[in-house]
Amino acid sequence: MITTKNYEDYLEAKAKLNFWKKKENELRVSILEDMEDPAIQKGTVKKQHLGFSVKATYKLNESIDEAVLDRLMGELNDEEKDCLKFKPSLIQKNINKLDNKSKLFSCITSKPGLGSIVVEVLEK
């Protein structure tokens, strides 16, 4: 049976979770910035530092500008069209195969995604 204490505990846990999620995010961003390699927009960087092994994974969130795609659709070749799935959404493995001069890139918008990290204590 639910009691007042359950509700109080829930509110306390939610507040603590929000605090620690924010704190983890701040720390993750700080570590990612420290690990940052300007040559990498997406991919993995590994580093050993201060007795820790750190693996940072950088991500880009890519999406379609549908208005631009609609205008370009008739001009895309089959290889470029194979990069699309209609809703439309991107088929990343095919995009990775495209030449940088592909018209398709003019309707793809990219923004940095929040990277992930794995931190492990090294044996001494």
Q: What tens digit of pLDDT does each residue of 16-32 get?
A: 999 999 999 999 989 88
pTM, entire model: 0.55
Check whether 36 has a pLDDT greater than 80.
Answer: no
For residue 60, the model assigns a pLDDT of: 85
Locate the DSSP E strands across 1-124. 43-49, 52-64, 84-85, 89-90, 108-121
More confident residue, 82 or 42: 82
Beta partners for residue 116, in sequence order:
57
Strand partners, 66: none
Rounded to whole angstroms, the Cα distance separating 117 from 29 reads: 10
pLDDT (mean) for 43-48: 88
The per-residue b/e assignment along 94-105, b for 16 or more CB within 10 angstroms, e otherwise, is bbeebeeebebe
